[in-house]
Amino acid sequence: MKQYGKVVEVSEDKAFVIMEKHSSCSGCNACKLGSDNHELRIEAINTVGAKSDQIVEVDMEGQHVLTAAFILYMIPLFALFTGIVIGNIIFPTQELIAAAMGFGLLALSFLGIKMKDESFRNDKKYIPVITNIQEEKPL
């Protein structure tokens, strides 16, 4: 998945890049956090020695993007439904308890993901890579 952005800061072997949100982001507000900002600041591995104010091509393998999305969205959703189903099996007439169990497992899944966050951040397959310096921003 290749996109283009502008380097705003460089530190050691990494660079911070400002990118415009891609059209595939239009239906997802996960990064938006309630703002009207159409830019996204990411940290990328700087393999080409890009400097501040340069336009760069940033790439991340599509399979790794899907894996990260699965971890962040599907595992918690699966935990929520699993908790509700288990709650309904154990307490068939107590929907509130079943819902509480669902939200409890949802919270535990988020906690588990948060505990693994550092290893995800250090795993280079989940970090975008600057692959090319552009003379000007492509259309």
The 10s digit of each residue's pLDDT in 101-131 is 999 999 999 999 999 888 877 777 778 888 8
- This prediction has a pTM of 0.62
Q: Helix 95-115 and helix 75-90: axis angle, to 10°? A: 150
pLDDT on residue 84: 96
The 10s digit of each residue's pLDDT in 6-38 is 999 998 888 999 987 655 555 554 544 445 567
The 10s digit of each residue's pLDDT in 54-94 is 899 888 777 777 888 888 899 999 999 999 999 999 999 99
